Structure 1
């Protein structure tokens, strides 16, 4: 059975939300299994332990906002 263009677009629009939910579930599964996870909070790489404590592992440079369709070049 093939999808109509409309059905395809609806499913495609849900990809970011599905990815976000999958990432949150994977993080929680790792914590529940006793592993620490890394995440970014306020330009810092933060380790979160299964007991809920957190520790900054590294300060990061400010993120670069990219607008859909924008083209950027990497500095050499």
Structure 2
């Protein structure tokens, strides 16, 4: 009986730290996955913002060119 208990505790002493290590690794992998998804969403939002700002800039350049043309054609 003593040998069986000793064997059981020895097995638990090996399995519990291994299970904890696996659990920590799984949590880290999940955290990294969520972090990457958030980073992808932020990157896409930044791209959309940059595209919108470029459109606004193009509109302003067009307006400026029209204003310059009007100024040049004035007597």
Greater share of residues in helix: 2
Name the structure where strand makes up a greater proportion of residues: 1
Tell me the TM-score normalised to structure 1 length. Answer: 0.33
TM-score with structure 2 length normalisation? 0.34
Greater RCO, 1 or 2 (C-alpha within 8 Å, sep 6+): 1
